[in-house]
């Protein structure tokens, strides 16, 4: 199939040929080969926005952030309203701690996407959360989840955190459980559920969720020691809480 696909591309301009072949390799999850093909397309003058966007993602996945940034910028010069590239570039900016830049890119993605893509909106909400604009973040999450109930588990978890901080405990718990159903091995959600239960004065439940979080790999000892949300456990279950902290320390040092 790969040979036949190569043969079919021989009549295309070389940059487009490399780019389309890169798309084929990308779909087949042959990422190293896809990167080489996209690179060849770029060096041959190819500026197809879709090809460049995929190339940038591959570079980002290898932590080649400066290179990925350059290619995303080239992609947006080629097509400034390419909502997928805008959203993915925003994701990169957010992961790199550049929330204000991410906000602008998400806004452009939402303005460019006539389908009002829920994934862009959820990313925008996550950015607003980082910027401390809680009410706006909650509204964006509400809209994203109304449009698509199966967005990434991390967004469900983030929305649950905001609900819990707003005193909407039952709603928060329902979103945590949905996040767990989608990503049952993500320790962070179990930790956040422990915090929710502690804030609700349910210390036994909180300890149970914290124990599960540690069992799944939660290792942020410093955060757990200082987290105000777990203050209840420091008083009602001091010995057990300290033992769990010790377990985290021992596992994180291995």
Look up the CATH number of the domain holding residue 46: 1.25.40.10
Query: Quick check: is 201 in a domain?
Result: no
Residues 66 and 99 in one domain: no
**pTM to 2 decimals?**
0.79
Report pLDDT for 6: 54
Which sign does the torsion angle of CA 64, 70, 74, 80 carry?
positive
pLDDT at position 148, please?
74
Q: How many domains does the chain have?
A: 3
Q: Select from 175, 171, 183, 136 the least CA-distant residue to 158.
A: 175
* Residue 39 placed within a domain: yes
Indicate whether 171 and 87 sit together in one domain.
Answer: yes
The radius of gyration computed from the CA coordinates of the chain, to the nearest angstrom, equals 22
| Whether 71 and 109 share a structural domain | no
Q: Do 111 and 154 share a domain, yes or no?
A: yes
Per-residue model confidence as pLDDT tens for the chain (254 residues): 555 555 555 555 788 888 899 999 999 999 999 999 999 999 999 899 999 999 999 999 999 999 999 999 999 999 999 999 999 999 999 999 999 999 999 999 999 876 657 888 999 999 999 999 999 999 999 998 888 766 788 889 999 999 999 999 999 999 999 999 999 999 999 999 999 999 999 999 999 999 999 999 999 999 999 999 999 999 999 999 999 999 988 877 66
* Same domain assignment for residues 88 and 170: yes
The pLDDT, as a whole number, for residue 28 is 92
**CA dihedral sign of residues 212, 216, 217, 223:** negative
- CB burial of 84-113 (b: ≥16 within 10 Å; e: otherwise) equals bbbbbbbbbbbeeeebebbbebbebbbebb
% of the chain residues with pLDDT over 70: 93
For 15, other C-beta atoms within 10 Å of its C-beta total 18
- How many helices (H) and strands (E) would you count in the chain? 16, 0
Domain that holds residue 212: 207-254
Q: Which of 186, 133, 132 is nearest to 155 (CA)?
A: 186
Q: Of 55, 79, 103, which marks where a domain is finished?
A: 79
pLDDT tens track for 47-97? 999 999 999 999 999 999 999 999 999 999 999 999 999 999 999 999 999
- What is the spatial distance between Cα 163 and Cα 242, in angstroms, rounded to a whole number? 28
Check whether residue 152 and residue 121 sit in a common domain. yes
- Structure tokens, 212: 């599960």
Residues 151 and 130 in one domain: yes
Q: 127-139 burial, b for 16+ CB within 10 Å, e for fewer?
A: bbbbeeeeeebbe
Can you give the pLDDT at residue 191? 97
- The confidence score (pLDDT) of residue 14 equals 86
Residue 198 lies in a domain: no
Residue with tokens 């040979």: 3
Boundary residue ending a domain (79, 102, 117): 79
In a domain, 183, yes or no: no
State the pLDDT at residue 220: 93
Mark which of 126, 154, 175 sits at the end of a domain: 175
Residue 18 within a domain: yes
Cβ contact 112:82 at 8 Å? yes
């Amino acid at each position: 199939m790969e040979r036949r696909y190569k043969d079919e591309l021989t009549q295309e301009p070389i940059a487009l040929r490399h780019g389309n072949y890169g798309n084929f390799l990308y779909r087949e999850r042959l990422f190293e080969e896809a990167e080489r093909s996209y690179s060849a397309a770029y060096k041959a003058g190819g500026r197809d926005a879709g090809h460049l966007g995929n190339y940038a993602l591959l570079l980002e996945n290898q932590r080649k952030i400066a290179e990925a940034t350059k290619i995303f910028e080239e992609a947006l010069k080629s097509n400034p309203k390419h909502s997928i590239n805008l959203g993915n570039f925003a994701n990169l900016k957010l992961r790199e701690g550049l929330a204000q830049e991410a906000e602008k890119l998400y806004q452009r993605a939402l303005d460019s996407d006539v389908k009002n893509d829920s994934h862009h909106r959820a990313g925008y909400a996550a950015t607003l959360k980082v910027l401390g604009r809680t009410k706006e973040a909650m509204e964006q999450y509400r809209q994203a989840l109304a449009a698509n109930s199966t967005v990434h588990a991390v967004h469900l978890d983030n929305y649950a955190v905001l609900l819990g901080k707003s005193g909407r405990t039952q709603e928060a718990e329902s979103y945590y459980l949905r996040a767990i159903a989608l990503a049952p091995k993500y320790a962070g959600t179990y930790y956040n559920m422990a915090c929710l239960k502690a804030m609700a004065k349910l210390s036994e439940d909180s300890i149970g969720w914290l124990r599960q979080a540690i069992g799944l790999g939660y290792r942020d000892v410093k955060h757990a020691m200082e987290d105000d949300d777990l203050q209840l456990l420091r008083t009602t279950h001091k010995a057990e809480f300290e033992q769990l902290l010790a377990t985290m320390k021992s596992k994180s040092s291995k």
